[in-house]
Chain A
Amino acid sequence: MSEKRKFGFETRMLHAGHIPDSYSGSRAVPIYQTAGYVFDSPEYAASLFELKQYGNIYTRISNPTTAVFEERIASLEGGTGALATASGQAAQLITMMTLMNPGDEFVASSHLYGGTYTQFEHTFKKLSIKVHFVDPMDIKNWEKAITPKTRVLYGETIGNPQGSVFDFEGVSSLAKANGIPLIIDNTLASPYLCRPLEWGADIVLHSATKFINGHGTSIAGVIIDSGKFDFSNYPAISSPSIPYHNLNFYETFGHYGFLMKARCESLRDTGATISPFDSFLLIQGLESLSVRMDRHVQNALAVATFLKNHPMVDWVNFASLPDHVHHARAKKYLPKGAGSVFAFGIKALNNNPRETGKKFLENLELFSHVANLGDCKSLVIHPASTTHQQLSDEELKRANIKPELIRLSVGLETIDDLLWDLEQAFHAISR
């Protein structure tokens, strides 16, 4: 066997992070459904608590099943390590709490998932952390927003509802020139379609609930660190940690300082921990990731093309379509396809776009009306009549959500059945 073998993506989907244990030989990853771990001795326990030894103390901080998921996703993203969390929102919170102190600021793309926008704008205010949102379509907007207080640049690989593709090279050069880490939410792409660390990002986040789990069965998140960012002069990582008796995470754990601090301080103290059973479901999800994603992008392109050519459709925002403003960028960063989640707008009937969208959704038979995405099953949501129904047309406009906007997460059903469902819904509302 060659010592230097670089195993492929699919091999690592199935094997990375798990070595069959010698006492049971269990081929599947065992679920270690335990809260605590028996210590060898009081002295050994003390060294674990001081972080002088590597090992499990309590599942709020680490767990052997979760560690398999963490190493596996780190391997797939090309990172040095990972930290799993109770949700994607928790992954963001833990990352930002680890990197920032009260009074710090960060710059984020305005093309963000709504829940992220709310967390950054409102909840982070309570931690005295200030976000500046920028229109990501022009790199100059990022440049102008950076100040000496800026600690992080933040964006999503694929931003919705615009279907925009992140300017990895532009923003990562800016991040490097300013010594600021670039953090990317890669949820909509998954590491199979895009690996932001290869394009200059420093840290990648996921809502693992989506394509990683793949079956809509777990709420989960994960943080992956490239290990390449120089934290030696980064205040939150290289200053003494008071709870750990002035331990300096950078000096002691080197390139792993951020992840150790995120685990041993932020995860420990927020308690936003994933359960071992959910980690097991994520591991199962990852084992079929490439196969699912290939079909997801194939079906999504067929659905988007069908909609694009439909006389009742006004617009489709999907970077896999040749007329999208970021099509060339999508081909570069997402060569296998720009995911399977996109938004489109129906032409308004009776001059009432909100009602038209609502009626279309009501008439769908096969697309599930669900506030989730990245499931094997096709999902649909009409924000103006559900998540954003309390907003006036004027407020919707400010939130960048058109009243007719419908978001699809195209699943793995027989493609002809998906197209049939859309066509019959168009037919139903046009009568």
Chain B
Amino acid sequence: MGLGTSLSCDISMNTRLSADEIRKYQNSELIRKLLNGAKTIAIVGLSDKKERASNFVGSYLKSEGYTVIPVNPLKQEILGEKCYPDLASIPVPVDVVDVFRRPDEIVGVIQEAIAIKAKAIWMQLGIVNRDAAELAVKNGLGVVMDRCMKMEHGRYNGNLHWAGMNTEIITAKKVSRFI
């Protein structure tokens, strides 16, 4: 989980957001803070189907040491973790609510996230709901929108260097990430 050396990660990439919205909802300082500081991540809409993007994200975050809590009313257990039907049923504090739902279902998720005092809401790639994002910001939540939590983790901590990614890390000091 150590995200020590990342310096910038400001390279622009495909998104539906405008430049102003990128600064607000894909803010590199906020993303780094969330990836570094979060311990418990509730994933709303986590699928048990292995080929789905949400399953990739959940299994990756779990293996990176985060506590992943699946939120899916139709399942008992996903990725070996107990499933909850909604955010309100989760008995422990949640740092980040990562969302795989249609844009028109986001407002409801955010209202729940506010109610359980989650620190941030993360809307996955392709999910854009500006009103919902505003609502979350007004209630003091950090907001990330139209980005993938797994890809951002790999980008910021250098894991995706493996696949030729420009991690934007420049340093002449020895680090431990290769051990």
Contact = CB atoms under 8 A, between A and B. Distances in A.
Interface residues of B, number: 45
Contacts of B160: 54, 81, 256
Interface string B1-42: 000010110111111000000000000010000000000000
Contacts of B173: 19-20
Contacts of A247: 51
B14 A227 contact: yes
Contacts of B125: 251, 254
Contacts, number: 141
B167 interface: yes
A6 B168 CA distance: 9
Contacts of B10: 4
B13 A227 contact: yes
A248 B47 CA distance: 14
A5 B174 contact: no
A417 interface: no
B74 interface: no
Given A5-B7, A19-B174, A231-B14, A71 B167 contact: yes
A255 B126 CA distance: 11
A208 interface: no
Contact of B162 (A55, A74, A79, A245): A55
Interface in B130-179: 147-148, 151, 154, 158-179
A22 B162 contact: no
A256 B11 CA distance: 13
B170 A22 contact: no
Given A4-B8, A5-B8, A255-B13, A16 B170 contact: yes
B165 A62 contact: no
A244 B51 CA distance: 8
B11 A227 contact: yes
Contacts of A55: 162
Interface stretch (B53-61, B89-97, B103-111, B113-121): B53-61
B29 to A, nearest CB: 8
B148 A254 contact: yes
A260 interface: yes
Nearest to A61: B163
A74 B8 contact: no
B14 A71 contact: no
Contacts of B5: 19
Contact of A230 (B14, B60, B147, B159): B14
B17 to A, nearest CB: 12
B76 interface: no
Interface stretch (A45-53, A100-108, A364-372, A388-396): A45-53
A25 interface: yes
Given A12-B170, A71-B164, A263-B163, 11 more contacts: A3-B29, A15-B171, A22-B176, A54-B154, A54-B159, A54-B163, A228-B14, A245-B51, A254-B13, A254-B14, A256-B160
Query: Which 6 pairs across A and B sit closest by C-beta, in order of nearness?
Result: A70-B164, A227-B13, A255-B13, A74-B166, A81-B165, A251-B53
Interface of B: 5, 7-8, 10-15, 29, 50-51, 53, 56, 59-60, 63, 125-126, 147-148, 151, 154, 158-179
14 contacts: A3-B29, A4-B8, A4-B10, A7-B170, A19-B178, A21-B174, A54-B154, A226-B13, A245-B50, A254-B125, A255-B14, A256-B165, A259-B165, A263-B163
Interface of A: 3-7, 11-12, 15-17, 19-23, 25, 47, 50-56, 62, 64, 66-67, 70-71, 74-75, 78-84, 226-232, 240, 244-248, 251-256, 259-260, 263
